[in-house]
Amino acid sequence: MPTDLPNGHQAGETKPDLRRQIRADRRALAPGTARAAANRAIHRLWSLPCLSRARSLAVYLPTAGELDCTPLAVQAWRRGRQVFLPVITGGTLRFAPFHSRSELRGNRFGIPEPVTLRRHWRTARQLDVIVAPLVAFDVHGHRLGMGGGFYDRTLAFLTRSSRGRRPHFIALAFEMQKLAELPSDAWDVRLDAVVTESATYRFA
């Protein structure tokens, strides 16, 4: 018999199955509920020491019902932080400066990216915090993304060595995106923390 998991999911569901169901559940959230949850999560996020100390952070622009990270960018600008957005280059990510007047252009997936010169881009190692979206997460710090593997490839160095500069890898999510356990692969990069509207989860 399948084992019931939180939010009505069952053990043995594949990653594509989970993506379809959770994305549908996320899109079903009322706009006001989603905005309120995002504001609470972002307020909670600032209490993390790594964020309060960070001088540079990467955020994301929401698509397909993702928790809206835009207020975090605005608050970071007001606090004098440098803010970046991911830019797809080949199979990995670089991070382009993001300002209130940045010109944005959709990439091949339709996700907006800043229009900037490559020499202004940064690598993941050059950032203090990377805040990523997700489809689901579990109590062990595993992250289920959209399936492109861009964050996993970009941050693969985090699994190989603890030496040298490393960014804190954090996700923002709705509480309903939490599962007891996700199917995982050897190349998946675990999160340092996930912040939702009602809790902060830190992972060793």
Instruction: Identify the pLDDT of residue 162.
Output: 61
Confidence of residue 1 (pLDDT cuts 50, 70, 90): very low
Instruction: Identify the pLDDT of residue 7.
Output: 54
Give per-residue pLDDT as tens, 87-104: 999 999 999 999 999 999
pLDDT at 204 over 80: no
Q: Is residue 167 part of a domain?
A: yes
pLDDT at 3 over 60: no
pLDDT at 2 over 90: no
pLDDT at 183 over 90: no
Q: Is residue 1 part of a domain?
A: no
| Percent of the chain whose pLDDT exceeds 70 | 92
Instruction: Identify the pLDDT of residue 12.
Output: 54
Confidence of residue 160 (pLDDT cuts 50, 70, 90): confident
Number of domains in the chain: 1
Terminal-to-terminal C-alpha distance of the chain: 32
Range of the domain at 59: 6-202
Give per-residue pLDDT as tens, 20-76: 999 999 999 999 999 999 999 999 999 999 999 999 999 999 998 999 999 999 999
The CATH code of the domain that includes 19 is: 3.40.50.10420
pLDDT, the chain, mean: 90
Instruction: Identify the pLDDT of residue 186.
Output: 82
Instruction: Identify the pLDDT of residue 159.
Output: 85
Q: Is residue 39 part of a domain?
A: yes
Task: Judge contact between 136 and 22, C-beta under 8 A.
Answer: yes
Q: Is residue 123 part of a domain?
A: yes
**pTM over cut 0.95:** no
